[in-house]
């Protein structure tokens, strides 16, 4: 691990900022900061620092802030203002915003899903413009994200609450500057450029850890962050589209049994409220009947979502 000396001062700064993290967690944060200097990492995971008040989350991300490339603090308070600040932001830092619009963060994870079209008002009227929301994202918050699929895209650091004040001596934010000089010594390695293609969120850091000969971190990360495709697919159930289509499959598989009853004799029409109850019970989602109807219309049931016998319903036949 001879190359670890290159990042020693950065790791020590994070450990000084928060006595509740381990050295391996501190290295994770430094490797994440290094990753922000490379343009070809895709997907780019979210770095989530979460735990209750008093665990030093803010000190950690404030120490990390100058290490990253293109760091910007996202301070918007509305859905639109946060979206606009995230546009073309290379590394976004978000501290203690528990009402964060999570749908914009999902757009930052992968380049192929990062572009959104909006109507922008100008002196000549409204015009369509395209925003690119892709980028690195560092979030400090008390709780995990509501969206299970978004949590599956995170590298999560949970600082422990230190109650022994003697362990807090010397803690605080230290500005150790940019990692640009360290990155210049690494160069464009194959592992870094290729590592972002895998679905496992910790893999974009794998090539970086290899560049530092950090076998200890690589072994640790497999246990700490390693997520196989089966777990990723389970998390996808919590995304709105997958949740609704899963509810449809459940209804179809229980036809003729003691499951959800249709509201017509032929077993074709089902109330949207029944689909809502299934999605809520199975995936803990809070989709409304209107949202479920819109998702069904976009996913194979166009023309089949309409009132039937006085109920908002869908024809699954």
* Predicted confidence band of residue 253 (pLDDT cuts 50, 70, 90): confident
Asked if 109 and 53 sit in the same domain, the reply is: yes
Domain assignment of residue 298, given as a range:
237-315
Looking at the predicted structure, is the pLDDT value of residue 54 above 70? no
Given 207, 226, 245, the domain boundary residue is: 226
Does 68 map to a domain?
A: yes
- Using DSSP's 3-state secondary structure scheme, residue 65 falls into helix
* Predicted confidence band of residue 255 (pLDDT cuts 50, 70, 90): low
Looking at the predicted structure, is the pLDDT value of residue 137 above 90? yes
Give me the pLDDT at residue 228, please.
44
Does 29 map to a domain?
A: yes
* Predicted confidence band of residue 194 (pLDDT cuts 50, 70, 90): very low
Cut 0.75: pTM above it = no
Looking at the predicted structure, is the pLDDT value of residue 56 above 70? yes
More confident residue, 121 or 266: 266
Give me the pLDDT at residue 165, please.
56
Q: Tens digits of per-residue pLDDT, 276-308?
A: 988 887 666 788 899 999 999 988 898 999 999
CATH of the domain at 29: 3.40.50
Does 231 map to a domain?
A: no
Cα angle value 203/207/211 (rounded, 5°)? 150
Q: Phi then psi for 170, rounded to 5 degrees?
A: 85, 0
Looking at the predicted structure, is the pLDDT value of residue 199 above 50? no
More confident residue, 238 or 77: 77
Does 232 map to a domain?
A: no
Looking at the predicted structure, is the pLDDT value of residue 75 above 80? yes
Q: Tens digits of per-residue pLDDT, 145-163?
A: 887 778 878 899 988 876 6
Does 185 map to a domain?
A: yes
Residues whose CB falls within 8 Å of the CB of residue 300, separated by 6 or more in sequence, listed in order: none
Cα dihedral 156, 162, 166, 168, rounded to 10, equals: 40
Residues whose CB falls within 8 Å of the CB of residue 35, separated by 6 or more in sequence, listed in order: 41, 44, 136, 192, 204, 205, 208
Asked if 192 and 290 sit in the same domain, the reply is: no
Asked if 93 and 152 sit in the same domain, the reply is: yes
Q: Tens digits of per-residue pLDDT, 61-72?
A: 999 999 999 999
Asked if 209 and 78 sit in the same domain, the reply is: yes
Residues 75, 120 contacting (CB under 8 angstroms): no
Looking at the predicted structure, is the pLDDT value of residue 118 above 50? yes
Lowest mean pLDDT among 32-46, 112-126, 204-218: 112-126
Asked if 117 and 159 sit in the same domain, the reply is: yes
Looking at the predicted structure, is the pLDDT value of residue 117 above 80? yes
Tokens coding 85: 């600040």
Looking at the predicted structure, is the pLDDT value of residue 226 above 80? no
Looking at the predicted structure, is the pLDDT value of residue 229 above 60? no
Tally of domains within the chain: 2
Q: Phi then psi for 255, rounded to 5 degrees?
A: -60, 130
CA distances from residue 129 to 74, 80, 101, 109, 122 in whole angstroms, order as listed? 21, 14, 20, 21, 11
Asked if 183 and 149 sit in the same domain, the reply is: yes
Q: Phi then psi for 127, rounded to 5 degrees?
A: -135, 150
Asked if 131 and 70 sit in the same domain, the reply is: yes
* Predicted confidence band of residue 238 (pLDDT cuts 50, 70, 90): low
Q: Where are the alpha helices (DSSP H) in 196-268?
A: 206-211, 215-224, 229-236, 240-253
Asked if 180 and 50 sit in the same domain, the reply is: yes
Q: Say how far apart CA 67 and CA 130 lie, in whole Å.
A: 30
- Using DSSP's 3-state secondary structure scheme, residue 206 falls into helix
Asked if 160 and 202 sit in the same domain, the reply is: yes
pLDDT more than 90, % of the chain: 40
Q: Which of 125, 152, 154 is nearest to 141 (CA)?
A: 154
Given 205, 226, 247, the domain boundary residue is: 226
Given 226, 256, 281, the domain boundary residue is: 226
Asked if 39 and 65 sit in the same domain, the reply is: yes
Residue 197: how many other CB atoms lie within 10 Å: 12
Cross-strand partners of 120: 127
Asked if 110 and 191 sit in the same domain, the reply is: yes
Does 219 map to a domain?
A: yes
- Using DSSP's 3-state secondary structure scheme, residue 115 falls into strand
Asked if 158 and 243 sit in the same domain, the reply is: no
What is the chain's mean pLDDT, rounded? 83
Does 269 map to a domain?
A: yes
Does 204 map to a domain?
A: yes
């Amino acid at each position: 691990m001879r190359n670890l000396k290159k990042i020693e001062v950065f790791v020590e700064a994070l450990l000084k900022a928060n006595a509740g993290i381990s050295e391996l967690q501190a290295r994770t944060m430094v490797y994440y900061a290094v990753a922000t200097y490379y343009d070809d990492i895709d997907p780019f995971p979210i770095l989530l620092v979460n735990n209750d008040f008093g665990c030093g989350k803010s000190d950690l991300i404030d120490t990390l802030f100058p290490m990253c490339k293109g760091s910007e603090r996202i301070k918007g308070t509305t859905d639109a203002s946060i979206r606009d600040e995230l546009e073309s932001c290379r590394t976004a830092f978000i501290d203690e915003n528990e009402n964060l619009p999570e749908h914009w963060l999902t757009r930052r994870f992968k380049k192929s899903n990062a572009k959104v079209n909006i109507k922008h008002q100008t002196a000549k009227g409204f015009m369509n413009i395209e925003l690119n929301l892709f980028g690195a994202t560092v979030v400090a918050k008390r709780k995990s994200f509501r969206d299970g699929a978004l949590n599956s895209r995170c590298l999560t650091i949970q600082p422990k609450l230190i109650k022994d004040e003697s362990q807090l001596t010397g803690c605080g934010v230290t500005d150790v500057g940019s990692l640009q000089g360290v990155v210049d010594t690494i160069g464009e390695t194959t592992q870094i450029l290729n590592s972002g293609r895998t679905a496992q969120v910790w893999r974009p850091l794998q090539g970086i850890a290899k560049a530092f000969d950090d076998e200890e971190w690589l072994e640790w990360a497999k246990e700490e962050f390693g997520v196989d495709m089966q777990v990723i697919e389970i998390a996808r159930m919590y995304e709105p589209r997958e949740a609704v289509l899963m509810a449809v499959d459940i209804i179809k598989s229980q036809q003729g049994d003691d499951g959800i009853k249709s509201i017509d004799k032929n077993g074709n029409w089902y109330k949207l409220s029944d689909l809502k109850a299934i999605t809520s019970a199975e995936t803990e989602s809070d989709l409304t009947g209107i949202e479920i109807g819109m998702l069904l219309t976009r996913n194979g049931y166009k023309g089949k979502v309409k009132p039937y016998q006085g109920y908002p319903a869908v024809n699954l036949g």
